[in-house]
Chains A and B, each alone.
Chain A
Amino acid sequence: MGTDRYAYQSRLRRVSPLPKLLLTAVAMLVCLCCDSIPVGLATLAAMGALVTALGGLSPRVFLHFLKIPLVFMVVGCLTMVVGSYPPGTPVLAALPVGGRLWGVTAEGLLLGGRIFCKALGAIGCMYFLALNTPVTDLTIALERLHVPRLMVELMELIYRFIFVLSDTAAHIRVAQESRLGYRGWRCSLTSLGALASMVFLRAWRKADRIYTALESRGYTGSLSTLTDSYRPGWGLLPLTALVAAGQVGIWLLERMAAA
């Protein structure tokens, strides 16, 4: 599902999740704090290079994933950029509507561009984590960071059940579609309602059966699993420092150029 499939194929899959988490967190934080166009773009480029060169993901797949959050960002930034101004404001492009100018000023464009590029950088960082670390590894990392045991267990169970339930939902959907269940709006709504409630019902009954199965195997209230053996991944630590230094360097250069 989504990024998970590629995370399992990544070359960094066997590396301990903690250094990967650290790299993501540091790069994301620095990118957000710098709040500049070049740093955002550089972060995205660095993360793209790391995901493709270290993780072994094809650039095409990375670009495909990059497109997913783009719609929201474009809508959000356009909403910010386009505004109404009193007549006489220096604008780049505008239409006079009802005595006010509706359009884009240079300042607004710069602000929108800054937020857009900053968000792109942050998304790159998030993908470095998501495309190299399967969720099962991430839950182990969270446990090591002393997230409560119950929370981690809930996460593990939910992760597993997501696949079970979406399988069920996909089967029901195919069955409904082959019986023309999605012709027209009314029909779709009824079918979708039936689908959702049946998935809920099956989930409920399946949970019951799973619990019975667990109890018959000596379940005493916690699911314990063995962790995989990881490579320590010390090599990622200097890389983290390097990325952060690069980001700060670009930011300083930009400040100097502006001053």
Chain B
Amino acid sequence: MKQTTVRTARAMALLIALLGLTTMSASAMHIAEGMLPVPWAIGWGAVCVPFVVAGFFAIKKKVEQAPRAKILLAMCGAFAFVLSALKIPSVSGSCSHPTGVGLGAILFGPLVMTVLGLIVLLFQALLLAHGGLTTLGANLFSMAIAGPILAWAVYQLLRRVKAPAAVAVFAAAALGDLFTYVVTSVQLGVVIGGMVKFLTIFAVTQIPLAIAEGLLTVVIFNVLEKYSRDELRQLAVL
């Protein structure tokens, strides 16, 4: 009897410690300034260049066709920033921030997301000290390129096979969120070693958060579908 109490107490203590980690994940998705050595920082920046250039020309074309698109895209970028500053309730009662990776990719498409992501990440680094200038490339790759592309692909695939919209949105948002963290862990792990350690920590803290973000995105989508069908239709053209 006594032994079980001790064991329960131990398990509880471990659980609390693990849940304590979830509060850290608020800023854990951005690699902090200066954490990457110079060659890696430049390398990740170089990897991002073609994506950003492609996104820039996609936006340029849209703006030339319809000048209104510029203001709309800027609003979308600001929305992404504000969304990432919201506190999302997590299962354990702690809070984190939604990445908005899935929502952005579904609404605006992965190409536009790269450019908006670049600007938003730059502002987050300068205004909020989330991320950094030297790690901008690495963060851009995980949060504005890899995550959105996966989320967008998942969404398109599930819609193709006639899955319900809610399932597609949930899967896209949750997987996009998770994939972003996997890429971040790999980026840190490749440089410093201990990829498995980073992945374990992130897996414990991120899976509940990814589920929360998926549910949140579904709720957002339901409301948008109800009240702003016109805007969503325009976005498909935009």
Q: Does B1 contact A (CB under 8 A)?
A: no
Q: Does A35 contact B (CB under 8 A)?
A: yes
> For residue B126, which residues in chain A have a CB less than 8 angstroms away from its CB?
3, 126, 129-130, 135, 138
CA of A3 to CA of B129, assembled, Å: 8
Q: Does A71 contact B (CB under 8 A)?
A: yes
Given contacts A79-B197, A158-B78, list 5 more A-B pairs with CB under 8 A: A68-B27, A69-B32, A155-B122, A196-B86, A208-B71
> For residue B24, which residues in chain A have a CB less than 8 angstroms away from its CB?
71-72, 75
Would you call B32 and A119 a contact (CB within 8 A)?
yes
> For residue A69, which residues in chain B have a CB less than 8 angstroms away from its CB?
27, 32-33, 129-130, 132
Distance in angstroms from A170 CB to nearest chain B CB is 10
Q: Does A232 contact B (CB under 8 A)?
A: no
Chain A residues within CB distance 8 Å of chain B: 1-4, 24, 28-29, 31-33, 35, 65, 68-69, 71-73, 75-76, 79-80, 82-83, 111, 115, 118-123, 126-127, 129-130, 135, 138, 148, 150-151, 153-155, 157-162, 164-166, 169, 182, 185, 188-190, 192-201, 203-204, 206-208, 210-211, 214, 219, 221
The 5 closest A-B pairs by CB, nearest first: A193-B219, A122-B34, A157-B74, A161-B78, A119-B34
Known: A201-B231, A203-B78. A150 touches B60 (CB 8 A): yes
> For residue A221, which residues in chain B have a CB less than 8 angstroms away from its CB?
67
Would you call A159 and B123 a contact (CB within 8 A)?
yes
What is the predominant secondary structure among interface residues of chain A facing chain B? helix
Distance in angstroms from B39 CB to nearest chain A CB is 10
* Interface window among B6-14, B143-151, B156-164, B222-230: B222-230
